[in-house]
Structure 1
């Protein structure tokens, strides 16, 4: 964990060592997770989290300073899981592989559920905003490096600015899950992957990559 993430979580009032105390703390985490998703962060109180976990409000404050610290504990080590995936361009059918990545990303987001809480929190929590922004830069750099390698192999459009292309890919990928949730159709992942790949590859290159992938799997 980075120093910045340490600051976001902060020092806990008490870290349980006995199993029964750990169970109470875990129950509070599970309760907060469920309530944040169902009610929203601002509408959820520490008292409600405690009641839903079956413990007294004082027990909540024994383990957490406030509901923010509980939420940061839920987000700990999960920041990158909430951000768009890194595509692979060089091997196989990039469209099919990206569609699989986007679908896996959507499943991961829905399992965590915390992406629904972030928008309201980011507006009021500069510290968390900085951490998310830094994580996005890391993913941007990895995607950009992958595009550079593909460009050096002569696979991408020659006249595109790779930095702008990278941010465009991230934006489309980041919103893929919301589009699928709205339409209820997982096939949307394939359509979004198709759009992204057409931004990256000229038609003849994309067709060649797809054909080579089919030939390798026969």
Structure 2
């Protein structure tokens, strides 16, 4: 058990260090040598756990996916699947707007085949759970197709965030959520109410979002 705990601690240290470096200086500029140096581990230790920088990014992407789910569910304070979905996506967009390097890292993750596949598969499972009552006749394949379509649209908007300055980010978030909720069959009136509530919650939670970004910057 002690060895397992030690391994888990080393994995956590690697991912926290890499995440901080990706956010502070960008994924492309971060080398595995820099991760090794900052984490104070040996080259052999890094490659024992992760064979490449892409594998590290994949692990971080999985963690981010789970973190967004957990936060959205806690913030929603309800069983509304539409609101939980809106908060998951809204939070990710908010993070990208507030920290451009997060947007850049998201963009690279979406462009990386293994990671985009993971996002699509996990997202489809997640969306089938959230939206099954709206679409009782949908197969798993139909949820995957719609998830992939939404991911493509979300990816395009995050890529735009990474290269431009925008003062109308709430309009972008609203539009992305409108399209996403529509894709998964949420009725018009519920979409409008859900988006309004999600934006209100994101505004109320701004200090927590700031703290989350600060923790990413200073972890590792």
State which structure, 1 or 2, has the greater radius of gyration over its C-alpha atoms: 1
Structure with greater helix percent = 2
Higher relative contact order (CA 8 A, sep 6+): 2
Query: What TM-score, normalized to structure 1?
Result: 0.48
Query: What TM-score, normalized to structure 2?
Result: 0.48
